[in-house]
Structure 1
């Protein structure tokens, strides 16, 4: 009863702001975001009884990180989402200061959530804390009850493992056993991932340190996720504290993956180099699931820790990326927006075979909640690209530039409006002089899928209402082979 009371209070708190937030100019139209107040990491992403469920870190009482609940949305198609009451509320002795991140698994026709219970033991949140792993169960996927056996993992293993930073369980089943990976770090602050196994989800045995950072690999690995793709094992994680190298790792924290092979008996992953899943500004804590079609789908928090978030002043902050299907080609993951996004398309505009130099705008190509599909034939020496969310009077624009002589693609949000600026760059080699950009613009976000998912760049931006123009530019003559534009319907 006390748990239900906490959840009811949380629901009431967000409903106070619901209408105001829904109407706000930066409120996203087709990305998952909270009804109001705070959102961060995706949790418990799964398919249960015919519907997709997505949970998330949620503080329902203010648009800032604080004592964390699990928010909850569900969908039949990954596009049209329904808000549900929070699934978990902190308050037990083992989770009184937060139900931190975790995952979901179906067992005996019930949905189990596995999460980290957090308790602050002092005022220094980096050092004075106790983290354990706990379970909650539901028959309908909506109302959850915490297990009496909680916590099911009470402490970190002995050895070179930090005793308190021990979180974000991702659970799955393999060969009739349940496994979980947990984010961790060594006593000397090197990121690592731990593996456990269980016969029943309740009693867990520590297997081994699955993987550990070497060199510039961060001081803590958060939100690990281990899965099979094309008969290879992929470990996704979010390393904190990776130092910038050239054009890479300029966000406060990173999110990416390594590919290799797992020895399940020994609990060891032999793997290759770390690669990013997104080369933009705002992408963290991705979590994946496998759906009934066999697709491996990822979703991530579309923000970054310690960034300025202008929507906080308006009662809300935080959002999720579009769901992305992961495809492994060789030793690289390609990311594609799930095909269901096409359901939102309306008012198609097409332009083809236009040659230009300098700068141009095309009829019907504008908007702030749209999809663009652009194919350019460019010369190696060309500097060309597209300016999004342009308002020349206000001096606002978000610019994507390809520098042919350098093989660099750049996303520049220094003039994007309110909020943080900055530039992100990635190396890009074209095939047959063709540059393909699939761009999703929402009210306060941009996601750029480059060359059919080879790379993605994501950014939160906060332009004015009049910043809706789009312009193409090139310092040499290039060809717009095709440019398609759709308005996208509101779906949440």
Structure 2
């Protein structure tokens, strides 16, 4: 451990002890979502299941709730319900990552954990920081226990990427097929076209570019946080494109996250990308990453936030010294040619105090502070509206086949997001102190968002016309998080 690492560790620990209590006193502090101990959280990183434990690393800026120098925070769990805060795993302490340990992934092999990430360096001078002035280095850190990372190895610099690329190459996702290791990284070329670089290696250390994945027509200037995997017989290319213009109710966020089905061979030019589909229609969702657990499930976790939104909407938690969170873990499946997201079944262990009502047109009840709702629709001949805590509105216009999530002032600038859905069969939503995740038709469509209702507001009101069904409500217990702190 070098002197800078020791200093950063001491400073981070001191800051967490100093400001951690303030975060806990925030009435909007989340109860069953992972969030930072202090400061800023963004992309989930290095997701993996290693020696029977789930490992969730994440972008962590403890010194400023509005961002700043990024490290990797670290949570572990055996069940995704009871968590341990393992402290900061990776610091920006080397010349090749001095301005941030940016996003990356984990590879598990031979009892070791290999973390690949982007080391960010922003050079001093008169640069545009697109073509010149920024170094995005590919770095490897290895651990034999999943908690201590004693050595970082610089694998690639900008000089190792294709000459037609800008300085923006980042977010390595690594996996193994047969005897070859593959890596995808997000890229922006000098024509401002977003794309994915594909690398191959025989030893996990020496990498060579073997292909480029891009859409037939330009779709944004930068593709971030790529993920490429096989699921239920299909090849899925997941990414977060930047620079997409809104089209009606589509692409309403400043940056998007979604996926393509890839046909053909990703290793050669013999491939085609299908239609880009958004993963989440809510206000706060970006940079998702997936992994396979030891049960064989493909699980996704996303950042419940977005970059560069300060002029659009805000989070009052900044006043308490923290910002952003991670989504619930979601199991992925493919059904009828669509990627389906369902909260992992482990989340149901947080349920308590079940209540159930037969619904006929209207219903008005009081809810706990945090809860899950499952609404099964047996008959719907007209529209309906579900109002949560007098500030969140979930509406379905049957004639238009349009579902909408909307907020009043409790959205802090968030207004409404919509999606077309022909038939609404069920609605499942998870309401934490300051977040909501909505799953329509067993995860066919999803909305994730932050919102900030009045602390003592508990009302739930359902208004329908020719509506029949069943509404089940559970109070949600808090996850447990043991704060081990830095070692």
TM-score range, shorter chain: over 0.9
Q: CA deviation at 1:293?
A: 1.1
User: SS at 2:97's partner residue?
Assistant: coil
Cα distance in 1 for partners of 2:289, 2:139 equals 19
Q: 8 Å contact 2:374–2:472 — kept in the other structure? A: yes
1:91 counterpart SS class: coil
Alignment match of 2:328 (pick from 322, 328, 332): 322
Q: Does 1:332 align with 2:338?
A: yes
The reply to whether residue 477 of structure 1 matches residue 466 of structure 2 is yes
Q: Hey, what's the Cα distance between the residues in 1 that align with 2:82 and 2:113?
A: 22
Specify the SS of the correspondent of 1:248: coil
Question: What residue in structure 1 maps to residue 413 of structure 2?
Answer: 420
Conservation of the 8 A alpha-carbon contact between 1:295 and 1:326:
yes
Contact 2:59/2:70 (<8 A) preserved: yes
**TM-score of the aligned structures, taking structure 1 as reference length:** 0.92
Cα distance in 2, alignment partners of residues 279 and 333 from structure 1: 14
Task: Please state how far the C-alpha of 1:269 moved relative to its aligned partner.
Answer: 4.1
- 1:90/1:59 Cα in 2 relative to 1: closer, same or farther (>3 Å)? same
SS at match of 2:419: strand
* Displacement after TM superposition at 1:39 (Å): 0.3
**Equivalent in 437, 450, 454 of residue 440 of structure 2:** 450
Partner of 1:292, secondary structure, is: coil
Cα separation, 1, equivalents of 2:48 and 2:7 = 26
Structure 1: gaps spanning 5 or more residues: 391-396
Q: CA RMSD in A?
A: 1.7
Aligned-partner SS, 1:425: strand
Structure 2: stretches of 5+ with no match in the other structure: 482-487
> What is the alpha-carbon distance in structure 1 between the residues aligned to residue 264 and residue 151 of structure 2?
32
In the aligned structure 2, how far is the partner of 1:435 from the partner of 1:465? 31
DSSP-derived class of the 1:65 partner: coil
Q: Match of 1:8, SS?
A: helix
Q: Report the 3-state secondary structure (helix = DSSP H, G, I; strand = E; otherwise coil) of the residue aligned with 2:115.
A: strand
Contact 2:283 2:417 in 1 (8 A): yes
Q: 1:330 to 1:451 in 2, by over 3 A?
A: closer
1:142 and 2:135 aligned: no
Q: What's the secondary structure of 1:453's corresponding residue?
A: coil
1:117-196 mapped onto 2 (5 Å cutoff) = 117-122=119-124, 125-126=129-130, 128-147=133-152, 149-153=153-157, 155-162=159-166, 164-196=167-199
CA contact (8 A) 1:153 1:204 kept: no
CA distance in 1, matches of 2:454, 2:304: 20
TM-score, reference length from structure 2: 0.93
C-alpha distance in structure 2 between counterparts of 1:206 and 1:215, whole Å = 22
Paired with 1:125 and 1:5, the residues of 2 have a C-alpha distance of 29
> What is the SS of the residue equivalent to 1:6?
helix
Query: Structure 1 residues 160, 378: closer, same or farther in 2, change over 3 A?
Result: farther
Q: Residues 26 and 317 of structure 2 are in contact (CA less than 8 Å); yes or no, is this contact kept in structure 1? A: no
Partner Cα separation in structure 1 for residue 458 and residue 230 of structure 2? 41
Please give the secondary structure, in 1, of the residue aligned with 2:325.
coil
Name the structure 1 match of 2:425. Answer: 435
